[in-house]
Amino acid sequence: MKPEILSVADFAGFDFALMETHFTVHRLWRADDPEKLLAEVAPRVRGIQTTGTATVSPALIERLPKLEIIACCGVGYDGIDVAAARRRGIPVTNTPDVLNDCVADLAIGLLIDASRGIARGDRHVRAGRWPKGGVPLAARVSGKRLGIVGMGRIGRIIARRASGFDMRIAYHARRRVDDVPFAYHAKLVDLAADSDYLVVIVPGGRETYRLVNEAVMRALGPQGILVNVARGSVVDEAALVKCLREGALGGAALDVFEAEPRVPEALWTMENVVLVPHIGSATRETRAAMCKLTLDNLVAHFAGRPLLTPVA
């Protein structure tokens, strides 16, 4: 008998056919009646497959008496109640490293787009407005000051990418990182005041909830651009809209949102804002690697081997 796995969230690019060669997979997100499905399979489920933005609550964990592992297809796992899993002795895995390059690439792409107005120019041409005049002058990227909020795996790669544009790099994190050559700011508001661009790449959760607040945005200033490739919860969206409307912040480029897929309508028509639908890891290559690592963790667990990327 194959171990039974509860899939709580779909994920573009996830190879469920490959997963089903090893496990019996119950797709909760596809069920017409999720409660009915849970009532039927809960006594037999031994593993959960989830994603970085889905929720695995204490109630769900307690409802699965035979649960042995929670495998998250994503580097972030703030939707999983890790404390509840730990109380049951259930390990949690994620998929670090395999998505670092693509998220860093997108961060730089968003930064350039927001600064140079690429998407804005595309809209201008497609609407047939070019014969009537061009778009406003944009801002140069090369040689500017980049502040990175978070200096973990992805933050380091963003810094390496940015160095190719001769940017002056500084960062904020919970503590100073000894093995990077960049200036450290203990206070985020000080980093923002010393930056032309602020790129956010920290985990979500209670510790970083609305870390980028109105004071930080105002310190970044009327020429500054905020780029968020972390979690929507890290940025105070109401304050963001306010600062953009007032001209207190120059622009923003956002891959993530507090209540995605719902995006504040106030942002839709702002020409100085770039909006994309959480596509940081959304390449064929990266999603395949994430799927494989998720599956490899599950296979390792049920084979009695050490987990590849445990987080708890």
User: CB pairs under 8 A, 24+ apart, for 234-237?
Assistant: 234/149, 234/200, 234/202, 234/204, 234/208, 234/209, 234/210, 235/200, 235/210, 235/211, 236/210, 236/212, 237/264
**pLDDT profile of the chain (312 residues), mean per 10:** 96 93 97 97 98 94 98 94 96 97 98 98 98 97 98 97 98 96 98 98 95 98 98 98 98 97 97 97 96 97 98 82
Encode 84-110: b = buried (16+ Cβ within 10 Å), e = exposed: bbeeeebbbbbbbebbbbbbbbbbbbb
Domain match, 11 and 108 both: no
**pLDDT at residue 305, rounded to an integer:** 98
The neighbouring-strand residues paired with 80 are: 56
**pLDDT at residue 196, rounded to an integer:** 98
* Residue 225 CB-half CA count within 13 A: 28
Domain that holds residue 9: 4-98+285-302
Strand order in the sheet with 4-7: 24-27, 4-7, 45-51, 69-73, 92-93
Domain match, 135 and 210 both: yes
Q: What positions carry a catalytic annotation?
A: 231, 260, 278
Chain segment 209-266, per-residue pLDDT in tens:
999 999 999 999 999 999 999 999 999 999 999 999 999 999 999 999 999 999 999 9
Tokens of 156: 């380091």
The answer to whether 291 touches 50, Cβ cutoff 8 Å, is no
Domain match, 18 and 158 both: no
**pLDDT at residue 63, rounded to an integer:** 97
Domain match, 152 and 268 both: yes
Residue 309 domain-assigned?
no
Residue 92 domain-assigned?
yes
Tokens of 178: 């000894």
- Alpha carbon distance 73, 76 (integer Å): 9
**pLDDT at residue 53, rounded to an integer:** 87
User: CB pairs under 8 A, 24+ apart, for 140-143?
Assistant: 140/115, 141/111, 141/112, 141/115, 141/116, 141/165, 141/167, 142/166, 142/167, 143/167, 143/168
Domain match, 250 and 177 both: yes
The answer to whether 227 touches 202, Cβ cutoff 8 Å, is no
Reported as type and span, the H/E element at residue 10 is: none
The values of phi and psi at residue 46, to 5°, are -115, -10
Residue 307 domain-assigned?
no
Which CATH number goes with the domain that contains 37?
3.40.50.720
Residue 312 domain-assigned?
no
- In whole angstroms, how far apart are CA 284 and each of 104, 224, 249, 288? 16, 33, 34, 6
Domain match, 35 and 162 both: no
The answer to whether 170 touches 148, Cβ cutoff 8 Å, is yes
Domain match, 73 and 153 both: no
Domain match, 109 and 31 both: no
- Alpha carbon distance 8, 80 (integer Å): 11
Output the pTM of the full model: 0.94
Query: How many domains is the chain partitioned into structurally?
Result: 2
Residue 250 domain-assigned?
yes
**pLDDT at residue 185, rounded to an integer:** 98
Q: Is 108 helix (H, G, I), strand (E, B) or coil?
A: helix
